[in-house]
């Protein structure tokens, strides 16, 4: 095995699994249940934040954490699903989108998912959740505009980790949240090019293979359903 993916079904590790399946590399996985506060000492040694995902690269024995860091690491190491350093223009575009997905889209959604952790006051939690939803809708308008030149994928002609990262965030936004899911299918209908991209992505064999390994049934990104359990 080249890698071990530490995971909890339908958590941020799902994005990494999409990338591993697209790359066709050999990996196994290790289930880590529960919330970060309850995770065991061995896991905290791999990632002191207690957060998933963690990917161990068996070439180095090193654990890598943080979704975007793992995606960048894999795309660089395997020369696919991203853009090479040598192509400065494409690389700049890749890094810009990947970092935005990580430090803005995913981060805002996390606030909405865990709004109950922000405050015990229900009114505050609802406000945080609503704010997270509004911010995400603003970001989706940017991605819709990006697809406006007819490109099939966010970075252009080829699918990339950015497509999967955005799609997974939108899946979770329709399913989870302490207060309420951030988005509905109706919200997504305002972005038809994005919907077309998600439709293509959720039919890819790698996407379906990754989902099935986490007990997730189709459809993956548009009107998804929660996995059982
Ligand atoms: N900044 C981290 C966030 C990852 C994250 O939110 N992980 C969630 C799973 S979706 C987690 O481990 N949550 C457990 C908890 O907060 O108790 C990343 O990008 O990887």
Query: Is the bond preceding residue 219 a cis peptide, omega within 30 degrees?
Result: yes
Please work out whether the CB of residue 13 comes within 6 Å of at least one atom of ligand 1.
no
Indicate if ligand 1 lies below 6 Å from the C-beta of 12: yes
Instruction: State yes or no: pLDDT of 63 exceeds 90.
Output: yes
219 pLDDT higher than 80: yes
- Residue 52 Cα to ligand 1 midpoint, Å, equals 5
pLDDT recorded at residue 87:
98
Nearest residue to 78 (alpha-carbon basis) of 20, 129, 137: 20
- Fold of the domain built from segment(s) 3-78: Glutaredoxin (3.40.30)
| pLDDT score of 229 | 73
Query: Does residue 184 contact residue 137 with C-beta atoms inside 8 Å?
Result: no
- Element spanning 64, H or E: strand 62-65
Could you tell me if 4 and 57 are in contact, meaning their C-beta atoms sit under 8 angstroms apart? no
Binned at pLDDT 50, 70 and 90, residue 37 comes out as confident
DSSP element (H, E) containing 55: strand 54-57
Ligand 1 proximity of 213 Cβ (cutoff 6 Å): no
Report residue 197 as tokens: 């991209």
CA–CA distance, 163 with 113 (Å, rounded to integer): 21
- Cα–ligand 1 centroid distance for 4 (angstroms): 17
- Residue 36 CA: nearest ligand 1 atom is 17
Ligand 1: residue of 8, 12, 104 to mutate (most ligand atoms within 8 A of CB) is 12
pLDDT tens-digit series, residues 139-153: 999 999 999 999 999
Q: What average pLDDT is seen over the chain? A: 96
Report the DSSP pairing between strands 62-65 and 54-57.
antiparallel
Q: What is the pLDDT of residue 38?
A: 85
Res 76: pLDDT: 98
Does 199 have pLDDT greater than 80? Answer: yes
Reading phi first (left if > 0) and then psi (alpha if -120 to 50, else beta), residue 156 is in left
| Average pLDDT estimate for 59-88 | 98
Q: What's the CA gap between 220 and 217, in Å, rounded?
A: 7
Tell me which residue has tokens 């896991």: 43
Q: In the chain, what are the domain boundaries?
A: 3-78, 88-204
Average pLDDT over residues 206-212: 98
Q: How much is the pLDDT for 34?
A: 87
Domain over 88-204 is classified CATH 3.40.630.30: no
> Among residues 89, 225, 78, 226, which one has the least CA distance to residue 161?
78
90 contacts 153 by C-beta, under 8 angstroms = no
């Amino acid at each position: 095995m080249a890698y071990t993916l530490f995971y909890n079904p339908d958590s941020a590790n799902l994005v990494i699994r999409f990338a591993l399946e697209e790359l066709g590399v050999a990996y196994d996985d290790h289930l880590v249940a529960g919330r970060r506060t309850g995770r065991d000492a061995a896991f905290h040694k791999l990632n002191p934040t207690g957060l998933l995902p963690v990917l161990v690269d068996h070439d180095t024995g090193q654990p890598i954490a943080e979704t975007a860091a793992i995606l960048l690491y894999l795309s660089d190491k395997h020369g696919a699903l991203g853009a090479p350093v040598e192509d400065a223009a494409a690389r700049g575009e890749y890094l810009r989108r990947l970092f935005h997905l990580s430090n803005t889209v995913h981060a805002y959604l996390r606030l909405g998912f865990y709004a109950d952790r922000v405050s015990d006051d229900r009114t505050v939690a609802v406000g945080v959740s609503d704010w997270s939803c509004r911010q995400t809708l603003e970001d989706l308008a940017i991605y819709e505009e990006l697809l406006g030149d007819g490109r099939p994928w966010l970075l252009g002609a080829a699918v990339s980790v950015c497509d999967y990262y955005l799609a997974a965030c939108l899946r979770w936004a329709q399913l989870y949240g302490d207060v309420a899911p951030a988005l509905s299918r109706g919200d997504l209908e305002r972005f038809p090019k994005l919907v077309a991209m998600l439709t293509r992505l959720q039919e890819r064999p790698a996407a379906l293979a990754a989902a099935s390994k986490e007990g997730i049934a189709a459809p993956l990104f548009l009107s998804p359903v929660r996995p059982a359990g």
